[in-house]
Structure 1
Amino acid sequence: MKIRLNSTYIGGTSTGGRVAGKGCGTLFFGLFFAMGMLFVVFILGEGLQQVAPWRWVETPCTILSSTVDETDDDQKPYRPFVRYRFEVDGRSYEGDQLFRGSGATASYDRARDLAGRYRPGATATCRVDPDHPALSVLERTMPWIILVVFFPMIFVAVGAVGLWAVWRGSTTNSEAEIQSISGTAPKGKGHRFMIGLGLVFAVVGGAVFTFLFAVPFVRTLASARWEATPSTVSRSTVRSWSTDDGTSYRADILYKYSAHGREWRSNRVTFFSALSTGRDEARAMRDRYKAGTQLTAWVDPADPTHSVLEREFRPRYLLGLLPLLFLFAGAALMRFGWKQLRSVSNVDGGTYETTTTPVTSPVTLKPQLSPVGKVAGTLFFALFWNGIVSIFVWQAWKGWQAGHPDWFLTIFLIPFVLIGLASFVFVGHFTLALANPRPRVTLLTGEPCLGDEFRIEWMFTGRSSRLSHLRIFLEGREEATYRRGTDTVTEREVFATITFVDTANGWEIPRGSAAVPIPDDTMHTFTGPSNKVVWEIKVAGKIQRWPDVDQNFPVTLHPLRLEDV
């Protein structure tokens, strides 16, 4: 039996194919990089504006007025308006900026609380730009927006790495066209990048999940202890504003109530207000809370500034769980990268892992991937993939609803949507396979060495009578990873197939045993930096009009015994 450990296959592509591939790759990854950088520059610019007041001079000031003003912006209709007076070099100035930026917000409660910090006639400290005294703020804010830069950095990283992979130089001589990864790539570099990318995914997913679901959910639970307080709707309207993808809508319900001896106002209907609503839902909420309607608000007895109209948990709030896909994907990516990094660090130079001491007692094998694992893996991929794609599909759909379809985005999304649909087909396939009879394989004589007789026993649990055909065989496979020009290729080639049983006899299928000799001139299990020799026992069972049984059981074949050499 011929064993091929070092593949010398050299494949090639035409110059035209390489140019076309580079062009497509540049367009695809360049789009990722450009869009990501655009958002990075915007976010960093906003962050620098917030940082500037930390270098300004503290100056005493007097508060002249403090109110909540309404803006002309339906997206952020409320603004805390605080007017104050201060002096610089004997000259009097007036300012009305609470902090850098407009300070406008969609929440009346936030605008009211910010304005309420400053009572007319009180003294305070403002920050004045020493070079331009007309510029001043009352508060310095932390540039938390800079943390959002991690999200577009995902696109920048994907685009940059993709462009680097497309355009990095390649050698031209035939010996360099294909070379082992272990000889050209710095060990662990890709795995560290994988860990870093996973960390970004996890941080972004965790932050968005906390904002969209965790905090609102905790506040909803806390409101169960709040007091019922009579309230009156002052104004009920549907606010709308234009975006690149159409028009967004939100119901703005402003109501008033009395607590602790004074009147308060709020427009908080639910704690999950960050989740967007459609036009029909916004109009329905407006009609439900018409101006002048007497209703019950729930008010925090310890802090009457906190109130809410609806404490019920609605099914649509579960959309706030979607960011967990990013969190779990990031955690899985970090775990996989860490495991791979440790495995690389355990291989030093030319010292390769082969096998350990053979186990001589009977061994029950574990499947490479259990049926439940297949469902979980495909379901995770389907949810993660479709969760990301759905964001862009929703944007495209809003464009179609608004009568301004984005044809480029729609056509671009077609293959991604098809992959997402196919992933759910696989989920259904593997879910049906959960009802299949499950094989159990035992090595009767323990882990074999080359030249030994390999004895196994198999048994099915479940309805094995559904199986119309059974084949169990041992497969030896070589895996070699190489660099071919600018591409990384993993070649897999089966070099040995040894059949234990191949039968359609209903009496032999449920349970049995078999023995085969292992040739002494084949290759044992082997793991190197860029080459592997893998042995598996494969169980293939045919079921009519149903997903077939397909289970792989990794097994270790040891080298020849010393006494046999």
Structure 2
Amino acid sequence: MKFSIGKGSGDLRERMQEKQRAKRKSPGVTKRAKGSKSGRVVGALFFSLFFFVGAGFGWFMFARPAIKLLDAQDWPSAPATVTSSDLESHSDSDGTTYKIKISFAYEYNGRRYTSDTYDFFSFMSSSGYRGKRDVVDDHPVGKQTTCYVNPKNPDVAVLHRGWSNNLWFGLIPLVFVLIGGGGMIAMLWGGSRGKSITQKATGTSRVGPRSEQEWLPAFARPDESDAVDGQIRSGKDTVTPTKSRWGGLLFVLLFMVIWDGVVAIALIKMLEDGVSANWGPLLFMIPFVLVGIGCLIAAVYMVLSLSNPVVRMRFDPRVIPLGSPLRVDWSIDGRAERFDRLTLTVEGLERASYTRGTDTITDEHVFFEHTLYDAEALDRRDPLAREGEAEMEFPANAMHSLDSDHNKIVWRIKVRGEIPRWPDVRDEYEFAVVPAGVTDGGPNVRGMF
């Protein structure tokens, strides 16, 4: 199977070669892309606001009260008398919230103290009139009851040391912690892949196995232990998809459990007093409910896709020199007859990152696309339905793979398996395209530019 590649990729390769020649004219200089790194730093700082604000509110609304609650389980009891009991309300455009205000007097070690702490979460004002009204009605002024005193600081005492429904409201900031923490990890982890490209003053034609091959995807670079300097490994290679089905599912499930749990608790407390009393907050919750429903649908979709057939792709080799054939074979684990159609498409993708103000923008452009294999209505009686092979040749003027801070050239095979009334198979398998002669036994990388 032969094909030719479009003019656009040839122009791109010429531009990259010009950049490489310009670099070789300036020996002894180490260059590192700054734009994308600064963009990642700004992005990490942006997400850190979510993380630290969420962590701060989470500490005051959940962690700190929960620690006090656990500590209070060992506090001694003391007789107490309720001195005031009231339900404080706060109204605004979003509705009305309520807070328990109960004060009591107690004696401990012969001294008299006062406190206004009903429980460790009563400082929060929230909806749920009926539940809070029942607490106030159950503690009328003059009632004799029991409180629990901090033996290390007798000025601190609490009437109720059990769990409170307000505890779950303290989990809401955890959503911001997850968003902020995940964003910071993505920004900082992504930035760790950026490598400097060093041009040596000696002008030697021999290079180390890694120093001049940072432009390649990581899987195509030689190991530190490779005996041949500057040579890239080749050979038959079984490749896994770039995205794991389980990885995406676990992330969605974790996010869904936290998000939907917090939203459900908030809705239950609002509905305790009826819709008419909390119509404002309920309207405010609609977008959060829709996000939760979307997470549930996505999780169900991903769970169903776990039972899909698995296409195992083998490259021979995975690193393809320009002008050489790309040979692949594959096998299907599972019920291959479920496919109505199976296609394998070779795709060349360019990613360009640049900064716009404080934002880092990434544009993608598919500059090449070629159908390698296309079969419809696979027959379970046909042994070829479970396996196959294909071959194509890359022209010498194609653009090689590239992995740098600002630009990436990604070559991959996209597998699409159409299953009627079921989630389709959508997997991607990356391979590398290199200048002719870079693989084992050929010239070193420096000679290619």
Decide: shared fold, TM above 0.5. yes
Which structure 2 residues correspond to residues 25-104 of structure 1 after superposition, within 5 A? Answer: none
Matching residue within 174, 192, 196 for 2:41? 192
CA-to-aligned-CA distance 1:228-254 (integer Å, 9 cap, x gap): 333333332211233453432112122
Q: Which moved more, 1:355-364 or 1:415-424?
A: 415-424
CA-to-aligned-CA distance 1:481-507 (integer Å, 9 cap, x gap): 579999967241241324246352235
1:372 aligned partner: 246
Change (3 A) 1:249 1:487: closer
Tell me, what secondary structure is at the counterpart of 2:321? coil
Q: Does 1:221 align with 2:70?
A: yes
1:539 aligned partner: 415
Change (3 A) 1:547 1:288: farther
Distance 2:278 2:157 in 1: 39
2:58 aligned partner: 209
Distance 2:112 2:283 in 1: 51
Is residue 500–residue 516 contact of structure 1 (8 Å, CA) maintained in 2? no
1:552 aligned partner: 428
Query: How far off is 1:265 after superposition?
Result: 2.2
Query: How far off is 1:418 after superposition?
Result: 5.8
Tell me, what secondary structure is at the counterpart of 1:544? coil
Is residue 347–residue 411 contact of structure 2 (8 Å, CA) maintained in 1? yes
Q: Does 1:518 align with 2:393?
A: yes
Q: Does 1:470 align with 2:342?
A: yes
Q: Does 1:442 align with 2:314?
A: yes
Distance 1:256 1:387 in 2: 38
Matching residue within 152, 159, 162 for 1:302? 152
Distance 1:334 1:303 in 2: 40
Distance 2:125 2:338 in 1: 50
Distance 1:315 1:389 in 2: 13
Q: Does 1:496 align with 2:362?
A: no
Change (3 A) 1:281 1:540: same
1:253 aligned partner: 102
Is residue 234–residue 319 contact of structure 2 (8 Å, CA) maintained in 1? yes
| Structure 1 unaligned residues grouped into runs of 5+ | 8-181
Is residue 365–residue 553 contact of structure 1 (8 Å, CA) maintained in 2? yes
Tell me, what secondary structure is at the counterpart of 1:225? coil
Distance 2:160 2:44 in 1: 42
1:266 aligned partner: 115
Query: How far off is 1:343 after superposition?
Result: 4.4
| Structure 2 unaligned residues grouped into runs of 5+ | 13-30, 200-211, 222-230
Change (3 A) 1:232 1:281: same
Q: Which moved more, 1:248-257 or 1:443-452?
A: 443-452
Distance 2:75 2:287 in 1: 50
Change (3 A) 1:225 1:436: farther
TM-score, scaled relative to structure 1: 0.56
Q: Which amino acid aligns with 1:454?
A: R
Number of positions where the alignment pairs a residue of Structure 1 with one of Structure 2 = 382
Distance 2:197 2:175 in 1: 33
Q: Which amino acid aligns with 2:375?
A: D
Q: Which moved more, 1:415-424 or 1:188-197?
A: 415-424
Identity %: 27
Query: How far off is 1:213 after superposition?
Result: 1.0
Query: How far off is 1:217 after superposition?
Result: 1.2
Matching residue within 343, 353, 356 for 2:215? 353
Is residue 348–residue 368 contact of structure 2 (8 Å, CA) maintained in 1? yes
Distance 1:321 1:415 in 2: 18
Tell me, what secondary structure is at the counterpart of 2:306? helix
CA-to-aligned-CA distance 1:41-63 (integer Å, 9 cap, x gap): xxxxxxxxxxxxxxxxxxxxxxx
Matching residue within 308, 311, 318 for 2:168? 318
**Larger RCO (CA under 8 A, 6+ residues apart):** 2
Query: How far off is 1:401 after superposition?
Result: 5.1
Q: Which amino acid aligns with 2:315?
A: L
1:35 aligned partner: none
2:207 aligned partner: none
Structure with the bigger percentage of helix: 1
Distance 2:258 2:41 in 1: 22
Matching residue within 183, 190, 197 for 1:333? 183
2:328 aligned partner: 455
Query: How far off is 1:260 after superposition?
Result: 1.0
Query: How far off is 1:386 after superposition?
Result: 8.8
1:58 aligned partner: none
Query: How far off is 1:545 after superposition?
Result: 1.8
CA-to-aligned-CA distance 1:433-482 (integer Å, 9 cap, x gap): 2343444333354433331341233342x565644443333322233457
Query: How far off is 1:374 after superposition?
Result: 2.2
Query: How far off is 1:301 after superposition?
Result: 2.9
Distance 2:232 2:374 in 1: 25
Distance 1:293 1:388 in 2: 35
Tell me, what secondary structure is at the counterpart of 2:178? helix
Is residue 233–residue 292 contact of structure 1 (8 Å, CA) maintained in 2? yes
Distance 1:514 1:488 in 2: 38
Q: Which amino acid aligns with 1:502?
A: A
Q: CA RMSD in A?
A: 4.4
Q: Which moved more, 1:371-380 or 1:292-301?
A: 371-380
Change (3 A) 1:403 1:466: closer
Matching residue within 228, 233, 258 for 2:82? 233
Change (3 A) 1:276 1:427: farther
TM-score, scaled relative to structure 2: 0.69
CA-to-aligned-CA distance 1:381-440 (integer Å, 9 cap, x gap): 7789999999xx99x999x9569969xx979x9888766754553344224323434443
2:132 aligned partner: 282
Tell me, what secondary structure is at the counterpart of 2:436? coil
Q: Which amino acid aligns with 1:524?
A: H
Q: Which amino acid aligns with 1:331?
A: G
CA-to-aligned-CA distance 1:316-361 (integer Å, 9 cap, x gap): 5233122222223222222332244444563689x98146354334
CA-to-aligned-CA distance 1:151-202 (integer Å, 9 cap, x gap): xxxxxxxxxxxxxxxxxxxxxxxxxxxxxxx9x9945332221122122222
Is residue 3–residue 495 contact of structure 1 (8 Å, CA) maintained in 2? no
